[in-house]
Chain A
Amino acid sequence: MPTHPFFFLSESFSYPESDTITAKSEALVLLAKDIGFQVPAAKEMIPQSFIDFQSEYVRLFINAADGIFAPPYASIYVNNAGILHQQGYDDALSFYAKAGMAPTESEESPDHIAHELAFLGLLLDADNEDILASFLTRHLCVWYPSFLQRLQDAQPYLFYSVLGQVTDLYLTHLHKEVIHE
């Protein structure tokens, strides 16, 4: 059984290869409820067709209908670089290396939000407190709000809007706790 939500959030930010949207929506509602946050009912988050859901992902995160609205990469937001493989990307790689991890071969850039949330999950599993604190404070929580803003500006399907908010809540909560410890 999963013990924390970050692998789930990471997977939800990855391209939906198989039609698990109903189950994902239900899980998202429960996750929100666990931390006292009200979100619309799961059935409202389910799009008309799975192909619509996939094309929404493409629109938001790959090549979007009004320009790429919410490129899901740290590099875009850190220092407002606007392009890939800049400071935000370097920072992500530094944190991974420090924690004794390296991104595996993937078509996604390692500063993709899905990578960063999975990394967070691994840090929690490993009780790696020091890196967790600095990763949140100096990196993920720095750029995530700008990404979320662009995601919401894109008027995404409800699922992605809720996913963005729930992720934000979990990150904010975790960050607060880390700071207070």
Chain B
Amino acid sequence: MNRRHFLKMSSATAMAVAASTMDGLPGQAGLFRSAQAQEIKSFSTGSLGATEVTSVCEMCFWRCPIVVKVKEGKIIKIEGNPKSPVNGTRVCARGNSGVQLVYDPDRVKTPLKRVGARGEGKWAKISWDEAFGEIAHNMEKVKKKYGPHALAYFDHGASAEFMRGIFKAMGTENYTSEPAFFQCVGPAALAYLQTVGYVTTGTRQYNDMANSKAMLLVASHIGENVHVSHVREFIDGLQNGSKLVVVDPRYSAAANKADIYLPIRPGTDTALMLAWINYVIQNKLYDKEFVANKCDGFDALKKEVNGYSMEWAAKICDLKIEDMKAAIKELAKAAPNVNIHPGRHATWYGKGDTGRHQAYAILTALFGAVGVPGGIYFPTSVKTGKAECPEPEKTEVAETDISIKDETEYPFSSMFGTATRDLFHAMLTGKPYPVKLLGVNGVNIMQTLPNPYDTMKAINNLDFIFCEEMMAGETAIWSDIVLPDSVYLERYDGLYAYDGLTPYLTVRQPAIKPLHNVKSPYDIAKGLAKKLDIEGYSCKNEQEFLNEELKGAGLSLDALNKQGGLVTYKGNPYRDPKSLKLGTESGKVQLYVEAFDDEDLDAIPKFDPTPAPPKGFARLIYGRAPMHTFSRTMNNLWLNNEMPENKLWLNDKIAARLNIMDGEEIIMENQDGKRSNPIKVLVTPGIRPDSVFMYHGFGSKSKHLSRAYGRGAADGYMMTNVVADPFIGADSKRTNFVRIIKGDKTLNIPELAKVPSEIPRFKSKLA
């Protein structure tokens, strides 16, 4: 070593070095301890010889059972759990890429505190104790100053439940405002709940596509929105000879498999449905026995839909009458084994959304497709125990003179929580009372909500905002404190009891120890509860409450693991129509929903047209990409490689008129003059000339997601015209229009599909 003169520091340097450290330099030596010297053979590649841990995927909310292959403490591969009756050994591209999520260098690695402006993303690292302390201090301060309801929670996904208890225990009525409901499935859920007495579509969908003889899909993204078992059931149905009718302004993956494809004018689906319902009634194509014995309100329905003729609908919907007739006959022929698919994402046009789904439910009932193979079926619940310990001991919503839920204009919103628009209105205006603190969990607040410009204003009105996040995305940038969540492969969660055709029970469990300085959602809630002196959360760890809950099913974690991590049960999805009793008040299908009438809303859907694009604009529609989940996965190395950016689908005839080539980069300008990031054009005949389409979730404005930043455009930033669904206040997403900026030229979109006079036009200052 003596020869290494250069390593010999001068005494001045040595002194300066020694003085620069608080702990004394050998402190760094503490990063290691001595161990038995050993030669580690290079790790064999591949998953042969790996340990297998059964768990549940969370790359999307479908939650397929999985097997995680682990070698030397590292995740090597993810496959479907062969014991799973829904996905078997399969996972989708996203399910595979969970490996990338765990090891992504852009994960939030430690609690962070904002030290710059909101939205700037300038952070310092803090300890968990400091993070909990800051959040608890601010929750108490806001509660003291404005009352408990000034605290609000905005959440999505499996990890959000535990923290919800904290907000409940603080006494706020705003303990949930799930975007999954108010920004997505809400109108569909309400329509089915009121019509057939249960929610046929939500996180789970009780649709027996595999055993159907015909299927109707309206603007479905199935095949692009990949949920493994869902797609399998769809394909099984097709393989079994089921006839497929697809209604969509875009030639989607499902349309590609259709026997009859109806490229409908956007915003007119209810007109088609009502004309079909009328046609079915007039031509006596309905199930007379089922309607007579199991439906209320048939006469009122018959009267109400009487005026909706096929000729009228053909003009409104811009469809060929013979195709419309052929389609409804095909569906009727298959009854009762016909699947009128309820869809999931329902927040399209605001005012017609609940009615449109009511119409699907009505058509389902007219065909007697309730509780029969191929129709909508009934969930079979799996019996488990209930553990009290992962929750606070006491929760009580505080008394209040004014309640957001009472003041709301949307009579059915409070059945499901606080409507997002009511919550953000309170943040923006202080009415009916100020909301000053927001906890966000598992939601990209800028991309999930339309009109992010208002969202930014609302956030800037808050006294405090914190989030629980895995990735340093847009929510993190806007938060005062960021709490790093463990990835689903590093933690336990609740039990997963599947209540579909073949029910099963499984559990998420960690395949590896958490990386970095992250915590599980349960430990985060427990830690914060302690700071807030909230009693409860008494289980030592997740295993304790899981064992308690499994006891109710005659199982334990060990016993479950011995059985491959999953046990199946016998399903009871179908009913004898004679003994069918639904969850509605009368036990029958409500073709006429009195509860809607009581609130001066349409008891039977009517067609109330949504405005057509202003001259020079096309309607912006959007959908899901098979290799991405919402806006969550764009930074994932593998998935980014598969689809790094989105493109704007533009009709080929329009493109020719505007002289736009495939792959050319343009900017969109919406009806209010808001402009998008640059986006490439996909020139295709597969989209109507009055519409443009893009995949959702791209164009992140978070610079912290190194691969996703600025790639493609975000649809949300084009959504400044938002219409509320009058039933629950859900926010419309298909009521915005764009034209094209190419270079320095603004290009108006020529109108190739004539708009009938019955449909008003949206008024834009720019048109």
The answer to whether A103 and B109 touch across the interface, beta carbons within 8 angstroms, is: no
**What is the minimal beta-carbon distance from B18 to any residue of chain A, in angstroms?**
6
**What is the minimal beta-carbon distance from B70 to any residue of chain A, in angstroms?**
11
**What is the minimal beta-carbon distance from B422 to any residue of chain A, in angstroms?**
33
The answer to whether B36 and A100 touch across the interface, beta carbons within 8 angstroms, is: yes
The answer to whether A11 and B27 touch across the interface, beta carbons within 8 angstroms, is: yes
List B residues 698-738 near A (Cβ within 8 Å): 703-707, 709
**B7: contacting residue among A18, A62, A98, A174, CB under 8 A:** A174
**A101: contacting residue among B15, B18, B35, B106, CB under 8 A:** B35
**A7: contacting residue among B29, B40, B104, B125, CB under 8 A:** B29
Asked whether B19 is an interface residue with its Cβ less than 8 Å from the other chain, the reply is yes
Asked whether B541 is an interface residue with its Cβ less than 8 Å from the other chain, the reply is no
Residues of B close to A118: CB separation below 8 A: 28-29, 31-32
**B74: contacting residue among A11, A69, A73, A85, CB under 8 A:** A85
The answer to whether B9 and A34 touch across the interface, beta carbons within 8 angstroms, is: yes
The answer to whether A86 and B103 touch across the interface, beta carbons within 8 angstroms, is: yes
The answer to whether A54 and B124 touch across the interface, beta carbons within 8 angstroms, is: yes
The answer to whether B109 and A62 touch across the interface, beta carbons within 8 angstroms, is: yes
- Given A23-B16, A63-B108, the answer on whether A11 and B42 have CB atoms closer than 8 Å is no
Task: Jot down 14 A-B pairs with beta carbons below 8 A, ordered by A.
Answer: A30-B12, A34-B9, A55-B122, A55-B123, A62-B125, A64-B706, A65-B122, A65-B703, A68-B706, A69-B706, A84-B104, A108-B516, A127-B1, A181-B3
- Given A5-B17, A23-B19, the answer on whether A83 and B105 have CB atoms closer than 8 Å is yes
Q: For the complex, what is the distance from the CA of A103 to the CA of B28, rounded to whole Å?
A: 11
Residues of B close to A11: CB separation below 8 A: 21, 25, 27-28
Asked whether B239 is an interface residue with its Cβ less than 8 Å from the other chain, the reply is no
Interface window among B110-118, B383-391, B400-408, B670-678: B110-118
Q: For the complex, what is the distance from the CA of A10 to the CA of B28, rounded to whole Å?
A: 7
Contact with B along A44-82 (1 / 0, CB 8 A): 000000011011011100111111110101011000001
Asked whether B752 is an interface residue with its Cβ less than 8 Å from the other chain, the reply is no
Q: For the complex, what is the distance from the CA of A49 to the CA of B10, rounded to whole Å?
A: 30
Give the A-binding residues of B (Cβ under 8 A): 1, 3-4, 6-22, 25-40, 42-43, 72, 74, 100, 102-106, 108-110, 112, 115-116, 121-125, 472, 476, 515-517, 637, 703-707, 709
**What is the minimal beta-carbon distance from B707 to any residue of chain A, in angstroms?**
7
Residues of A close to B116: CB separation below 8 A: 55
Asked whether A114 is an interface residue with its Cβ less than 8 Å from the other chain, the reply is yes
The answer to whether B110 and A62 touch across the interface, beta carbons within 8 angstroms, is: yes
The answer to whether B703 and A67 touch across the interface, beta carbons within 8 angstroms, is: yes
- Given A27-B20, A67-B705, A107-B110, the answer on whether A102 and B32 have CB atoms closer than 8 Å is yes
The answer to whether A27 and B122 touch across the interface, beta carbons within 8 angstroms, is: no
The answer to whether B105 and A71 touch across the interface, beta carbons within 8 angstroms, is: yes
Contact with B along A1-29 (1 / 0, CB 8 A): 11111011011001100101001101100
What bracket does the count of chain A residues touching chain B fall in?
35 or more
**What is the minimal beta-carbon distance from A175 to any residue of chain B, in angstroms?**
11
Q: For the complex, what is the distance from the CA of A96 to the CA of B112, rounded to whole Å?
A: 31
Which of A65, A109, A173 gathers the greatest number of chain B CB atoms within 10 Å? A65
Q: For the complex, what is the distance from the CA of A5 to the CA of B14, rounded to whole Å?
A: 8
The answer to whether B4 and A174 touch across the interface, beta carbons within 8 angstroms, is: yes
List A residues 91-116 near B (Cβ within 8 Å): 93-94, 96-104, 106-109, 114-115
**B40: contacting residue among A27, A75, A94, A117, CB under 8 A:** A94
The answer to whether A85 and B103 touch across the interface, beta carbons within 8 angstroms, is: yes
The answer to whether A97 and B17 touch across the interface, beta carbons within 8 angstroms, is: no
Residues of B close to A119: CB separation below 8 A: 31-32
Asked whether A142 is an interface residue with its Cβ less than 8 Å from the other chain, the reply is no
**A23: contacting residue among B8, B20, B35, B39, CB under 8 A:** B20
**What is the minimal beta-carbon distance from A106 to any residue of chain B, in angstroms?**
6
The answer to whether B38 and A1 touch across the interface, beta carbons within 8 angstroms, is: no
Residues of A close to B36: CB separation below 8 A: 100
Which of B9, B43, B707 gathers the greatest number of chain A CB atoms within 10 Å? B9
In the complex, which residue of chain A has the Cβ closest to the Cβ of B99? A83
Q: For the complex, what is the distance from the CA of A11 to the CA of B18, rounded to whole Å?
A: 12
Asked whether A122 is an interface residue with its Cβ less than 8 Å from the other chain, the reply is yes
The answer to whether A83 and B21 touch across the interface, beta carbons within 8 angstroms, is: no
The answer to whether A90 and B19 touch across the interface, beta carbons within 8 angstroms, is: no
The answer to whether A103 and B31 touch across the interface, beta carbons within 8 angstroms, is: yes
Residues of A close to B516: CB separation below 8 A: 107-109
Give the B-binding residues of A (Cβ under 8 A): 1-5, 7-8, 10-11, 14-15, 18, 20, 23-24, 26-27, 30-31, 33-35, 51-52, 54-55, 57-59, 62-69, 71, 73, 75-76, 82-86, 90, 93-94, 96-104, 106-109, 114-115, 117-119, 121-122, 124-125, 127, 170, 173-174, 177, 181
The answer to whether A102 and B33 touch across the interface, beta carbons within 8 angstroms, is: yes
Which of A7, A67, A73, A124 gathers the greatest number of chain B CB atoms within 10 Å? A67
In the complex, which residue of chain A has the Cβ closest to the Cβ of B23? A11
The answer to whether B125 and A15 touch across the interface, beta carbons within 8 angstroms, is: yes
Residues of B close to A97: CB separation below 8 A: 35, 37-40
Q: For the complex, what is the distance from the CA of A35 to the CA of B4, rounded to whole Å?
A: 11
The answer to whether A100 and B706 touch across the interface, beta carbons within 8 angstroms, is: no
Residues of B close to A20: CB separation below 8 A: 20-22
Q: For the complex, what is the distance from the CA of A65 to the CA of B472, rounded to whole Å?
A: 10
The answer to whether B40 and A93 touch across the interface, beta carbons within 8 angstroms, is: yes
Residues of A close to B110: CB separation below 8 A: 62, 107
Residues of A close to B125: CB separation below 8 A: 15, 54, 57-58, 62
The answer to whether B707 and A67 touch across the interface, beta carbons within 8 angstroms, is: yes
In the complex, which residue of chain A has the Cβ closest to the Cβ of B706? A67
Top 4 nearest A-B pairs by Cβ distance?
A67-B706, A100-B37, A23-B20, A30-B13
The answer to whether B103 and A31 touch across the interface, beta carbons within 8 angstroms, is: no
Which of B12, B115, B123 gathers the greatest number of chain A CB atoms within 10 Å? B123
The answer to whether A121 and B38 touch across the interface, beta carbons within 8 angstroms, is: no
The answer to whether B515 and A84 touch across the interface, beta carbons within 8 angstroms, is: yes
Residues of B close to A90: CB separation below 8 A: 42-43, 72
The answer to whether B637 and A82 touch across the interface, beta carbons within 8 angstroms, is: yes
Residues of B close to A107: CB separation below 8 A: 109-110, 516-517
In the complex, which residue of chain A has the Cβ closest to the Cβ of B26? A7
In the complex, which residue of chain A has the Cβ closest to the Cβ of B35? A102
Q: For the complex, what is the distance from the CA of A43 to the CA of B100, rounded to whole Å?
A: 42
The answer to whether B109 and A63 touch across the interface, beta carbons within 8 angstroms, is: yes
**A31: contacting residue among B13, B472, B706, CB under 8 A:** B13
Q: For the complex, what is the distance from the CA of A105 to the CA of B21, rounded to whole Å?
A: 21
- Given A55-B115, A85-B74, A97-B35, the answer on whether A24 and B20 have CB atoms closer than 8 Å is yes
Q: For the complex, what is the distance from the CA of A100 to the CA of B39, rounded to whole Å?
A: 9
The answer to whether A63 and B35 touch across the interface, beta carbons within 8 angstroms, is: no
The answer to whether B37 and A58 touch across the interface, beta carbons within 8 angstroms, is: no
Residues of B close to A99: CB separation below 8 A: 37
In the complex, which residue of chain B has the Cβ closest to the Cβ of A84? B103
- Given A58-B125, A118-B29, the answer on whether A5 and B7 have CB atoms closer than 8 Å is yes
The answer to whether B703 and A66 touch across the interface, beta carbons within 8 angstroms, is: yes
Residues of B close to A14: CB separation below 8 A: 28
- Given A24-B20, A27-B17, the answer on whether A103 and B32 have CB atoms closer than 8 Å is yes
Residues of A close to B4: CB separation below 8 A: 174, 177
Q: For the complex, what is the distance from the CA of A66 to the CA of B72, rounded to whole Å?
A: 33
**What is the minimal beta-carbon distance from B6 to any residue of chain A, in angstroms?**
5
Residues of A close to B476: CB separation below 8 A: 63
- Given A11-B25, A68-B706, A107-B110, the answer on whether A2 and B32 have CB atoms closer than 8 Å is no
**What is the minimal beta-carbon distance from B307 to any residue of chain A, in angstroms?**
58
Residues of B close to A55: CB separation below 8 A: 115-116, 122-124
- Given A23-B16, A97-B39, the answer on whether A2 and B29 have CB atoms closer than 8 Å is no
